């Protein structure tokens, strides 16, 4: 599975990248990449709208557990220091939009029809609560990332339960975002998943990602999906990501 180019773009800003992940820092941004043959432009959603919608903020569909965990981690994004203004805390929230690519790899321009309909897979359903409701937080010090995931009714696989592919998608999203924070632009090389217990539709789960090791271009990550109190294990996974260059993606 390839990481979305929007995520890869964020990696370009390293080492300042982690500081730019807060909800308040979402400026219109455009990067031009020139080759002898093409001029390819990658743009964040803000290139299409002056006020892009951040879908990782609370909405009316979020249940009590989703909101509780969101507030728990959000409260650790800023800390109060006596006699000083609030400072950056150990956790940072990663904003999430519904699209990121204006041009296809190789510089082939997308038609206006396709361009207007293109959406990141986890954000291609805009009805609140219907599919993927999630928010990601990263902790650079502990080298951890967490995803709070509320499962919508359109993700059904086995009757009344979440499709295994939807769970895999969220694991790839959390671990891939984590690897990007650690290593810059990456692509998934391997994803091994062990499903331990089915997840009921409408439930909120916690997806926790931890760094195992880094070797040259390789980033190894472990992940587990649990209940919100951590007592029930739903899924375990390991992932390998390879660092890549921008020219590798835009080579056609």
Q: Would you please indicate which residues are annotated as catalytic (active-site) residues?
A: 172
Taking the C-alpha atoms of residue 120 and residue 137, their distance in angstroms, rounded to an integer, is 19
Coil, strand or helix at 175: helix
**Maximum distance among all Cα pairs of the chain, rounded to whole angstroms:** 57
- Residue 201 dihedral angles phi and psi, to the nearest 5°: -60, 140
Taking the C-alpha atoms of residue 144 and residue 56, their distance in angstroms, rounded to an integer, is 18
Supply angle C-alpha 148, 99, 180, rounded to 5: 60
- Long-range CB contacts (within 8 A, 24+) of 53-59: 53/97, 53/98, 54/23, 54/26, 54/95, 54/96, 54/97, 55/96, 55/97, 55/98, 55/123, 56/23, 56/93, 56/94, 56/95, 56/96, 56/134, 56/135, 56/136, 57/23, 57/135, 59/128, 59/129, 59/133
Taking the C-alpha atoms of residue 242 and residue 235, their distance in angstroms, rounded to an integer, is 23
């Amino acid at each position: 599975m390839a990481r979305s180019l929007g995520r890869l773009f964020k990696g370009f800003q390293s080492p300042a990248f982690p500081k730019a992940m807060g909800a308040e820092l979402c400026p219109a941004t455009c990067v031009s990449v020139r080759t002898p043959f093409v001029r390819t432009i990658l743009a964040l959603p803000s290139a299409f709208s002056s006020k892009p919608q951040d879908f990782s903020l609370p909405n009316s569909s979020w249940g009590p557990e989703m909101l509780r965990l969101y507030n728990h981690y959000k409260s650790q994004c800023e800390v109060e220091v006596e006699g000083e203004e609030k400072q950056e805390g150990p956790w940072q929230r990663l904003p999430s939009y519904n699209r990121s690519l204006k041009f296809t790899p190789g510089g082939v321009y997308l038609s206006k029809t396709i361009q207007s309909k293109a959406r990141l897979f986890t954000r291609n359903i805009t009805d609140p609560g219907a599919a993927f409701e999630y928010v990601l937080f990263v902790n650079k010090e502990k080298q951890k990332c967490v995803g709070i995931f509320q499962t919508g009714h359109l993700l059904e696989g086995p009757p009344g339960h979440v499709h295994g592919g939807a769970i895999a998608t969220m694991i790839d999203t959390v671990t891939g975002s984590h690897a990007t924070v650690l290593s810059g632009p990456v692509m998934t090389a391997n994803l091994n998943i062990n499903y331990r217990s089915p997840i009921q539709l409408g439930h909120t789960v916690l997806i926790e990602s931890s760094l195992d090791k880094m070797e040259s271009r390789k980033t190894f990550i472990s992940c587990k999906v649990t209940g919100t109190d951590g007592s029930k294990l739903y899924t375990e996974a390991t992932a390998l990501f390879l660092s890549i260059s921008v020219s590798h993606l835009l080579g056609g």
